[in-house]
Amino acid sequence: MADYVIIGAGSGGAVLINRLSADPNIQITVIEAGGWDRSPWIHMPMGYFRLMQTLALDWGYHTVPQKHVNNRVMFVPRAKSIGGCTTVNGMIYTRGHRTDYDQWAQMGNMGWSYDSILPYFKRAENWGGGGDQNVHGFDGPLKTTRNPILAEPCVAWRDACIQAGYPFNDDLNSGEQYGVGPCDGTVRDGVRSSVSRCYITPIKHRKNLTFHTRAMVSKILLKSGRAIGVEFVQGGKKKTVFADKEVILCGGTFNSPQVLQISGIGDPEHLSRIGVRVQHELPGVGRNLQDHVASSLKVRLTKPVSLLKATKPYAAALALVQYYTTGSGPVAGHGVEVMSFLKTRPDLEAPDVQWHFNNIMYRDHGRDIIPEEGFMPYFNISRPQSRGTVMAKSDDPFVLPELDPNYLSVPDDLRVLRDGLRMSREIVTQKAFDHIRGEEYAPGKEAQSDADLDEYIKKDCQSVYHPVGTCKMGTDPMAVVDDKLRVHGIQGLRVVDASIMPTLTSGNTNAPTIMIGEKAADMIREAA
């Protein structure tokens, strides 16, 4: 018997493991589908390219054919490991815009406005960049730093944005994103700041913690409208652990709705279709899926100043030697020095497009490096309007659920990407790029009409790995959890991960998910 059973040790779960186990009188059992984060590629920042290429920690998710994206079946990477996606992500630390959270509060979620959640961002953060103490935290577990803008193409992008009329923003995490500025990252001293390393490793030997790794949850056990435990499969054997206080589901945007569905919690019509007995009707489970979808402008360079040379075997070997002897060099950072958050229309209150500036050209999530000197402004819709679903296909936990992000189903999402592509072109034509700008590699200068650009975007676009929303927080009939993250209609069961976001934040979702974990820890302790 445990007090709390935590399902999943990713960005939300890791925070709860750390904060709740600080009370030695509380017993916690953790059930995690992956193993411990022992691969050296995890802790080396640039190792994520290797992990993406080998898919050593990947769940293997692909979408159903996306009917608004030329019926493409699209790869959606998700990590299976202690530390979750923080073991393989690009280590970009962005909190989003203040209006993201104010909108959550306006939707009826008390305590989730920007001013309410800012203390939790600060509690989590161990900021290494100096600056405003009203914005940043300096004592938290999560080690963050700010990349200097040094590489020639990155400097050119910053200067070109300013020449195009956009402001310089020294701190894109101040709550006001608009402009171009340096990129903050979850990395320190040449080591990835995964939530496993920052939240779990320092405390994993606490005597009140029990970990079950490589364990798949098959069912949340319910009795008289209350979650009382968890059934899981480990090493081919079915096991059960009971929870005296709460079961806390932290499986992520894809796994959390699946676990609820195979436990009999969801849309009755869907549950009956997959042979699961209905335990609790909650039609919103698995709906409201949102994700950042991105496209890119690829431009050749006239000088060898990209990261391409670092991918060559000899240079890569030297970089590894440098890293393991000094902790520095090309593989000691995450590679993104500069970002932009800009508006496609001047009347917008907040930016609607985000740019990661990549000093290399690639395809297919970095699994296919283009062997030419070039750079790639990679831009995504900040607030997509398209909504999709995550639906279990079977009561078998080992059968992955059906993913349908329904990308670009709302025509204005395609318009925003098209405008982002045109804005990218305008920025690259500025004087700052004159000394290094070569020919456009893709889509190519012949692509000028809306139809041509739309077709290119549909062929080129990919997930930027920020799925949210499938167990959304709210008060409407499709909400799954309330503003305390308790599952509507069931006692002793919460969801604490990115799936609770009612709308997608304007930026990478790791930092907001960690914030959700910090806030949830307080709510859980208060309830106890």
Burial code (b: 16+ CB inside 10 Å, e: under 16) for 399-427 equals ebbebbbbbbbbeebbebbbbbbebbbeb
Question: What count of other Cβ atoms lies within 10 Å of the Cβ of residue 366?
Answer: 18
8 A C-beta contact, residue 493 and residue 280: no
| Percent helix / strand / coil, the chain, rounded to 5 | 30, 25, 45
Alpha helix (H) ranges present in 298-395?
313-326
8 A C-beta contact, residue 497 and residue 15: no
8 A C-beta contact, residue 410 and residue 385: yes
Question: What count of other Cβ atoms lies within 10 Å of the Cβ of residue 65?
Answer: 12
Burial code (b: 16+ CB inside 10 Å, e: under 16) for 72-106 equals bebbbbbbbbbbbbbbbbbbbbbbbbbbbbbbbbe
8 A C-beta contact, residue 227 and residue 492: yes
Distance CA 349, CA 360 (A): 32
Burial code (b: 16+ CB inside 10 Å, e: under 16) for 208-240 equals bbebbeebebbbbbbeeeebbbbbbbeeeeeee
Distance CA 135, CA 124 (A): 12
Instruction: List CB contacts of 194: < 8 A, sequence separation 6 or more.
Output: 37, 42, 43, 83, 86, 87, 186
* Tokens linked to 212: 């079950």
User: What is the CB-side half-sphere exposure of residue 364 using CA atoms within 13 A?
Assistant: 10
Helix H or strand E encompassing 24 = none
8 A C-beta contact, residue 124 and residue 157: no
Calculate the CA dihedral of residues 201, 205, 208, 209 and round it to 10 degrees.
50
Catalytic residue among 43, 97, 136, 466: 466
β 125-127/142-146 pair status: parallel
Residue appearing with tokens 């590629």: 41
280 flagged as catalytic: no
Instruction: List CB contacts of 77: < 8 A, sequence separation 6 or more.
Output: 52, 55, 58, 61, 88, 365, 463, 465
Q: Is 299 helix (H, G, I), strand (E, B) or coil?
A: strand
Could you list the active site residues? 466
